[in-house]
Structure 1
């Protein structure tokens, strides 16, 4: 446990520093800087359950919370100080990783949960912000969302789910029918996107992975019943 823990921590620090270097070099600002860090960390964290225990991942997530609090207070990372809006997303993000590890024993389902938090949510935000005033927007629960960003979230979620059902699924109906896999992947993606839309103050970083993981489990339960 000790050596994998240390190795994971070292690689994690290197990823954060690399993101900071990219942000400073290319002068990436605002939401794009924050999401670059989120996506990079999430891609790495999605692999943890394949070689780390649930308790180790939970411990790492708590350490990340401490790092986030320190970084926000002393603002030495541009990805933390470049977002003007009030959000608890940076706190919820590492907690979402820990909660996902505790709730989902299956490493593949844990990966689904974390990838939704990082990739789907991250890419949606990048597209929405990137389109600027050209993006058609709407407000929900005092938050501004873009139609393009929501569609990107659904598309990314769909790819994640479809990959899971085609590569990791042990349920015969999905192994024998691509149509069923596509249908359940699309419907799951829409429901998870809806969760992201109604999640206030950065809580999507914990609610989205939980719901995403559950939607990977529910079809299996229904088929067994």
Structure 2
């Protein structure tokens, strides 16, 4: 019998045995419902060994995954294979699994790297499978998407073990650092991916990380990535333990910090970290007093949305600088960080203003801490925040260059001005478009959609334009102004 044909037959027999065994163990009450699902999840990942041993034709190798995409979808809709489905199943995780198999089969054959798919599929099978089971059984401390510290730790350790075996056999030069990076990536991806999509993101993401490491490992950009990731992760973890970042915020901050370091260098990364550290410090400054003035100041930990609102634009601009090597783009990147710093300082310090706080549109007095309000202290704070970023940049970047003092001073002034302008734009958007609600209990104006587990009544603004969106839009508008000024 031809090897590929035998491989197809063995594939169906193998999967059938896995499902039948799981059903038998569940009926004998040796496995509960979740244990049965994880048994299948882990067992099916070993199909990759059949692929390696029996298939040399990519299209014939695609037949088993395609069949199981259709079969699993039918089971999802009709609950055909009870050992594989959850009660009240809401995700297509069992369908995404063979889709990942199909994609990695094609990629592995095309790249002539069968171990590429093996790494991704085995990490998904064993890592994600064991992480889910242990997380549900023993996990108590929640991180994100109802996932736990115990589950995420399991994902990291299992991924580390599998990655090391693959690297040691096929890319031994990167065995240690490569396996650590893949394991961290696997844990991050699994943590942030919701509703069964990790059956796609984990195998494809870890395989991609492996491919990148083996393709560019040893090159300068790879070294920059290692350094950027390490220092960004250390800062983010420290912030997490100081409750300045949530679990999702750690992930987003690490990604943003790494990207900015790799694409725009240490000076830009330092400016970003200075903004973050200074903002975290002033957020804690007289926190109790701020909380009495406005409920918006009760929260301290920044989540991924808040991190992206202030960090995504600088990261994109850093990539643009990496591609173009344009100094104007670099200055614009710094200006975008100055905008975020100016706005944060204005909000966190301005709320402590002893004088009146007025609407930036009507100049009528409003409650301290309400979006769209401005004060003398807040305005001064915004200028100082932007100036700090500008000073650090010009003091770090221009010494030793041929730039004149006049150019340096002009750059310092323009970065500061754009940062302060961004804070003004933020206030205008906050007063005009940001959504505001009436608290269902206190009847006070609030930015919170829910209070005391009840939805508040919308008073004004656009429903999607929350504070994070206002920060993001004001950053974009400020960058447009900066590009118009700096880019010739």
- Under TM normalisation by the shorter chain, which class is it? 0.7 to 0.9
113-122 or 211-220: bigger deviation: 211-220
1:60 alignment counterpart:
64
Q: Secondary structure at the match of 2:90?
A: coil
1:93 aligned to which of 93, 97, 114: 97
Q: Distance in 1 between matches of 2:184 and 2:106?
A: 25
Higher relative contact order (CA 8 A, sep 6+): 1
Note if 1:181 corresponds to 2:175: yes
Q: How does 1:138-153 map to 2 (within 5 A)?
A: 138-139=143-144, 143-153=145-155
Equivalent in 8, 13, 18 of residue 11 of structure 2: 8
1:155 aligns with 2:157: yes
Name the stretch that deviates more: 7-16 or 122-131.
7-16
Q: List aligned pairs for 1:146-225, cutoff 5 A.
A: 146-169=148-171, 174=173, 181-223=175-217
**Where in structure 2 are there 5+ consecutive unaligned residues?**
220-488
Aligned twin of 2:21 = 18
| 1:22-42 residue CA offsets vs partner (Å, 9 max, x unmatched) | 122125334322111110111
1:39 to 29, 33, 42: 42
Q: Is the 8 A contact 2:11 2:50 kept in 1?
A: no
- Whether 1:75 aligns to 2:79 is yes
Aligned 8 A contact 1:29 1:82 in 2: no
Change in CA separation of 1:149 and 1:113 when aligned onto 2, cut-off 3 Å: same
Q: Which residue of 1 aligns with 2:482?
A: none
Between 103-112 and 152-161, the greater mean CA deviation after superposition:
103-112
TM-score, structure 2 normalization:
0.41
Task: Confirm or deny: 8 A CA contact 2:189 2:202 kept in the other structure.
Answer: yes
Deviation at 1:46, TM superposition (A): 4.6
Q: 1:46·1:110 contact (CA, 8 Å) conserved in 2?
A: no
Q: 1:137 aligned to 2:131?
A: no
RMSD: 2.0
Deviation, 1:149, is 0.3
- CA distance in 2 between counterparts of 1:112 and 1:50 reads 16
- Tell me the distance in 2 between the aligned counterparts of 1:27 and 1:35: 13
Q: Which runs of 5+ in 1 are unaligned?
A: 175-179
Structure 1 CA distance for aligned equivalents of residues 20 and 26 of structure 2: 10
Specify which of 118, 124, 143 is matched with residue 125 of structure 2: 118
Aligned to 2:8, what secondary structure does the other structure show? helix
Secondary structure in 2 matching 1:80: coil
Q: Deviations over 1:166-197 (max 9, x none)?
A: 1222x5xx2xxxxx522221122111221112
Q: In structure 1, the residue corresponding to 2:143 is in which secondary structure?
A: strand
Deviates more, 1:102-111 or 1:25-34: 25-34
Residues 15 and 40, structure 1, Cα contact 8 Å, conserved in 2 = yes
Q: Do the aligned partners of 2:7 and 2:50 also contact (CA within 8 Å) in 1?
A: no
Cα distance in 2 for partners of 1:26, 1:189 equals: 33
Rg larger for: 2
TM-score calculated relative to the size of structure 1: 0.85
SS of equivalent residue, structure 1 residue 114: helix
Q: Distance in 1 between matches of 2:202 and 2:76?
A: 23
Name the SS of the counterpart of 2:146 in structure 1.
strand
Q: Is the 8 A contact 2:38 2:133 kept in 1?
A: yes
Contact 2:19 2:83 in 1 (8 A): no
